[in-house]
Amino acid sequence: MRDEEAKAGDNTPIPWSKRKGGFTACKFVFGFMALDNMGFVANTVSLVLYFNSVMLFDIPSSANTLTNLMGSTFLLSLIGGFISDTYLSRLSTCLLCGLLEILALVMVTIQAYSHDLHPQPCGKSNCLKGGMAIMFYISLCMLAMGTGGVRGSLPALGADQFNQKDPKEAKALASYFNWLLLSTTIGAAIGVTAIVWVSTTVKWYWGFFISTVVSFVGFVILASGKPFYRLRAPGESPIIRITQVIVVSIKNRKLALPENPVDLYEINEKETISTEEQIAHTKQFRFLDKAAVVCEGSKPEPWTVCTVTQVEEVKILIRMLPIVGSTILLNTCLAQLQTFSVEQGNFMNHKLGSIMVPAPSIPVIPLIFMSILIPIYDFFFIPLARKITHHPSGITQLQRVGVGLVLSAISMAVAGFVEVKRKNQANLDPTKPISLFWLSFQYGIFGIADMFTLVGLLEFFYKEAPAGMRSLFTSLTWLSQSCGYFLSSVLVDVINAVTKGKTRSKQGWLYGFNLNDNNLDLFYWFLAILSCLNFLVYLWLASWYKYKSEDPDSKPKPKALNGTPLINNESTQDNEVKNNEASSSD
């Protein structure tokens, strides 16, 4: 066990090593993401067809099963983030959850291979029963747990390789998230072409087998990078720290707040449990400050008083939650591209010249586009924007998210028009369907939206998070995706229930096995309208949000209870920057 992991028992921050970390260490992370994402994305775009054609679910049941799987996967990423912050190192969490993911893929492969584990037609929306149903749902649960745990801890593992207090590494951190997305995109592009082609035209079990093998190789690569990683020891449970603030602030609700924040409780920075940083007091949510009020005659102890830093950690979380909520609908739109858009493609002309293109492979067009756009964005746009805005990332993270929200609304509107064109042609001449590549418009627009939003959220949550909670807070990105997928399942059921008696079929907008009898175009436009309203709400929330270093209290910073002055984290960072510059010039 390395020195870093040996420190798991003490609260001393791990010193940064110049011989470790940086992009040298991140190459292993990027390699893993590319390989693991090949199978992950290939499965997310094709499983809806597997559920429909092999497991004999009807169209809405296939879509809901996939969105429930994806929602559970991203929800469980919170567990992975919590474990890697509290009990295991981020690397250990990735590898442990990776083992669970591989075992789940093995089970899925076996079930796809054995005809005895396939259901027989029964005329119902779900024909699974008995042992085959048990194996099916257990394998999906294990897949959600393993994949979710990896995604909850991996982004923070890579970001840990950069020291935010070093100006050069702080700029590199901004690029890290772009390159993480690029590696994800490259892996996805290979997955939706090669693996999807094998699954849909050869055998489903061969596609799942390839996904299993490439994921295994990815985890071997990730583990082999251990000598190069800067590994952070897990610290105190973030859940306990957050709960303490809530409980103590309620207990102290009748106490008066001091006029000067200097009288709030804080301890010496060298003694604090919260790893590396003191967080300056802010004026928002002052009712929580009562948790930092020391009662006369009482001794400062856990569950009786909290530090200012601990209170500010909870304030940061509260400020973040509305941002998470305002991005849920974007991920609901994403779910449609992995479910109903794939079903759309199944009713279209798959020929490209003499080549038959599987419907789930159409996302390769925006993925290729993104693979070209991301390096251009990182090498040209960000340096140019830095000169104008003086922001390390070129534009703020919330501005990036805003761009993505606008593009997602446009994508859904375009999807509705494409569906109208597809269905009109199907009604005119079913033997001459429109080309599958009409779907590239909605996929391409949303691909750019995802590039802005996903990277913006990952960087936003990592940079704004307290040092000891970065895995958990970064997992809020996946929480947004989880809620988006679950909301998609709910909307499908609600839309069908509301519109059941108002359509010619008397079955609702979305039902059955034949998309030509549905009103999918209206569902897309409904999402586009919701997305526009959601963007207006987001504009207000983004303007209300105060970045961690943007709104420090102007009053003197608190002193330690023993009278020792505390060092403001920002001034500490400025001094470190000056020292680094001085040492460089020497």
pLDDT in tens, 81-102: 888 878 888 888 899 999 999 9
Number of domains comprising the chain: 2
What proportion of the chain, given as a percentage, has pLDDT over 90? 15
**582 in any annotated domain:** no
Using CA of residue 306, residue 559, residue 290, residue 463, what is the dihedral sign?
Answer: negative
- Average confidence score pLDDT of the chain: 79
pLDDT at 219 (0 to 100)? 92
**537 in any annotated domain:** yes
Top pLDDT among 105 and 266 is at: 105
Lowest mean pLDDT among 1-10, 55-64, 276-285, 484-493: 1-10
Confidence of residue 505 (pLDDT cuts 50, 70, 90): low
First to last CA, the chain: 36
Strand partners, 352: 355
Do 8 and 108 fall within a single domain?
A: yes
Do 283 and 188 fall within a single domain?
A: no
Do 178 and 265 fall within a single domain?
A: no
pLDDT at 414 (0 to 100)? 93
Do 357 and 437 fall within a single domain?
A: yes
Q: What is the average per-residue pLDDT within 142-158? A: 89
Do 309 and 445 fall within a single domain?
A: no
Q: What is the CA radius of gyration of the chain?
A: 25
Do 120 and 260 fall within a single domain?
A: no
Do 227 and 302 fall within a single domain?
A: no
Q: What's the angle, vertex CA 351, arms to CA 334 and CA 430, rounded to 5?
A: 85
Q: Are 266 and 300 in contact (CB under 8 A)?
A: no
pTM of the model: 0.74
- Domain of 292 in residue numbering reads as 238-314+555-571
Do 327 and 476 fall within a single domain?
A: yes
Q: Are 327 and 401 in contact (CB under 8 A)?
A: yes
C-alpha dihedral, 234 to 318 to 461 to 539, nearest 10°: 180
pLDDT at 19 (0 to 100)? 65
Residue 102 CB partners (closer than 8 Å, separation 6+): 146, 212, 215, 216, 219
Do 201 and 331 fall within a single domain?
A: yes
Q: Which of 239, 29, 218 is nearest to 105 (CA)?
A: 218
Q: What is the pLDDT of residues 452-491, one digit of tens each?
A: 888 888 888 888 888 777 888 888 888 888 888 888 888 8
Do 373 and 479 fall within a single domain?
A: yes
Do 490 and 511 fall within a single domain?
A: yes
